[in-house]
Structure 1
């Protein structure tokens, strides 16, 4: 089983991946780690700010890693924002049966009401470089993009609208019922 987690910045993708790792002992791949490895090694001239280009560059690599894991009957959690909204087009039905997709996004009201908490917990699992441009408006714009793009592609969005922990716990439990163990 592959658990593919995407969503806007600061939505808890890494927190959810870490919890799933601890529960199921599935290894996980952070697309951010892959991105930084390629950037730091000089294998690309892209920078961490080149989001659209990074998705175009990284997603084909991640797809083939997912296919390889499925073919080898290996479990894996893959998390990051560099997932194409057309992700399903890269897989046959046989592969899709082995992928559990999760897209996390926050409502505008949630962002406004909980912005200080969002920033306070941004390094819950991994140390982040403080993003100077992380503002309420930027978060709203990024979350709106994920909601619109992935909804238009026919994907269900796990919407964080009031209680963050409750929403993540529901997604966590839904994963358990979805056969991830």
Structure 2
């Protein structure tokens, strides 16, 4: 089984991937780690500051082939990151798609407004974010709207975090 976890920044993708690793013993691939490995090794001219669409266009062809390889090798894998294109399904034939579970996490405006300090506080639960000064209520709302609009337009389910974050995460883990 392949599990793809995507969503806007600060939605808990990495926390969920870590919890799945602990519960199911599936390894996970952080697309951010792949991105930084390619950038730091000099194998791309892209930088961490480049546009997400540019990074997605560069990273997704690599990630989708990793997913296919894992399926062909009958390996479980969690793939986590924000660099998943909304048309991700077009990269796979039906035989592959039947072995992929897709999870898109998004927060409602109401949740962001009510829980912004918690969102910021948990931003480094798994990884150190360093300078997070660009994380504002408005920015998080805009990022979540992008994910909601793009994935819903492709008929993908978006798990909306509207009230109880832990309840949504627990329902995924069950």
TM-score, scaled to structure 1: 0.94
Q: How much has 1:42 moved relative to structure 2?
A: 1.1
Structure 1 contact 21–27 (Cα < 8 Å) conserved: yes
* Most deviating of 43-52 and 72-81: 43-52
Partner of 1:37: 37
In the TM superposition, 1:142-157 aligns within 5 A as 142-157=143-158
Q: Distance in 2 between matches of 1:11 and 1:30?
A: 15
Tell me, what secondary structure is at the counterpart of 1:5?
Answer: strand
Partner of 2:54: 53
Partner of 2:3: 3
Tell me, what secondary structure is at the counterpart of 1:134?
Answer: coil
Note if 1:91 corresponds to 2:80.
Answer: no
Partner of 1:26: 26
Q: For structure 1, which runs of at least 5 residues remain unmatched after alignment?
A: 174-181
Q: How much has 1:92 moved relative to structure 2?
A: 0.4
TM-score, scaled to structure 2: 0.98
Q: Which runs of 4+ in 1 moved over 2 A?
A: none
Q: Please, what is the CA RMSD of the aligned residues?
A: 0.7
In the TM superposition, 1:100-139 aligns within 5 A as 100-139=101-140
Note if 1:79 corresponds to 2:80.
Answer: yes
Partner of 1:16: 16
Q: How much has 1:48 moved relative to structure 2?
A: 1.4
Q: Distance in 1 between matches of 2:131 and 2:114?
A: 20
Q: Distance in 2 between matches of 1:127 and 1:135?
A: 18
Partner of 1:177: none
Tell me, what secondary structure is at the counterpart of 1:159?
Answer: strand
Deviations 1:67-113 (A, max 9, x none): 00000000000000000000000000000011000000000111111
Q: For structure 2, which runs of at least 5 residues remain unmatched after alignment?
A: none
Q: For this pair of structures, how many residues does the alignment match?
A: 173
